[in-house]
Amino acid sequence: MMTPSTPFDFSGKVALVTGGTRGIGKKLTSTLAQHGARVYFCGTNQELGKQVAHEINQGLAPASAGTSFLKVDVADFTACKDMVAEITAEAQQIDFLINNAGITRDNLLLRLKESDWDEVMAVNLKGCFNCSKAVVRSMIKKRYGRLIFLSSVIGLMGNSGQSNYAAAKAGIIGFGRSLARELASRNITSNIIAPGYIQTEMTQAMDIKAQEKITEMIPAGRLGTVSDISNTVLFLLSPLADYMTGQVLQVDGGMLIA
């Protein structure tokens, strides 16, 4: 755990990470816990969630605040409200909300089913609304809070076969920036991270040629890592970023240089 003199010591802070059982979300949960925060994370797989919580807690120092898993579908407005109520009843506060939960249902528009569109919008975009609305009131009362939204470079550039995903990720940018304007006077920041291609289970499942083709598009010459994203989150949650809000940080190795 970091010493109290560092800006990345989050002792006494409470964080909620959505979609925290795999990939980027799992890394965010682990990293915040390692830096002293009490971390709650949610997902829809009860068995996996408990396994991840146990794994993370086993690796923490004895005095750490630890992590807890909550089985919640972020597309369910009432479930999100109840989740936040449960956390605040136990921890008394939520200082950080990292909206990370997301799914894909890729297909060309002519083959895209209505359910593919609705499911992606419900989880990726409405999930951000559900969780943010649930936590913001207590942040306003406390006059402190940090909101982070995981978008994607796909939300900025579009991508063939991902019109639903791109639309949802673009919507997250508009939503997050709007909240930045609404909440800045209450000492609540709202920032967006737009990752490029990150090494996760999803990208590792691609064949070698597909991975090579993607890498050729990236000036840095490599895919990003989950640590590249978690380090950016640490910065945005720290006092070093207190004067930053409404920003879209592209963490993509230069893939989308304008």
Rg (CA), the chain: 18
Instruction: Tell me the whole-structure pTM to 2 decimals.
Output: 0.94
The predicted pLDDT at position 5 comes to: 64
- For the segment 63-78, the average pLDDT, to the nearest whole number, is 96
Q: Is the pLDDT at 165 greater than 90, yes or no?
A: yes
Q: Which of 44, 63, 40 is nearest to 53 (CA)?
A: 40
At 189-248, the pLDDT tens digits run 999 999 999 998 777 777 788 888 889 999 999 999 999 999 999 999 999 999 999 999
Give yes or no: 40 in active site.
no
Q: How far apart are CA 91 and CA 178, in angstroms?
A: 28
Per the CB < 8 A criterion, the answer to whether 22 and 49 are in contact is: no
> Which pLDDT score is estimated for 3?
47
- In the predicted model, what is the mean pLDDT of residues 149-163? 97
Domains of the chain: 14-250 (3.40.50.720)
pLDDT the model gives residue 204? 75
Do residues 145 and 194 make contact, with C-beta atoms less than 8 angstroms apart? no
Mean pLDDT, the chain, whole residue set: 95
Tell whether the model's pLDDT for residue 258 goes beyond 80.
no
Has residue 132 got a pLDDT over 90? yes
Q: Residue 219's pLDDT is what?
A: 95
How far, in Å, CA of 208 to CA of 31, rounded? Answer: 29
* Res. 151: pLDDT tops 50: yes
Q: What is the mean pLDDT of residues 89-113?
A: 97
Q: What is the mean pLDDT of residues 65-90?
A: 98
Query: What is the torsional sign of CA 221, 225, 231, 233?
Result: positive
Phi-psi region of 51 (alpha: psi -120 to 50; beta: other; left: phi over 0): alpha
| Active-site residue, selected from the candidate residues 40, 144, 165, 197 | 165
Nearest-angstrom CA–CA distance, 33 and 96: 12
Q: Which residue has the higher pLDDT, 99 or 214?
A: 99
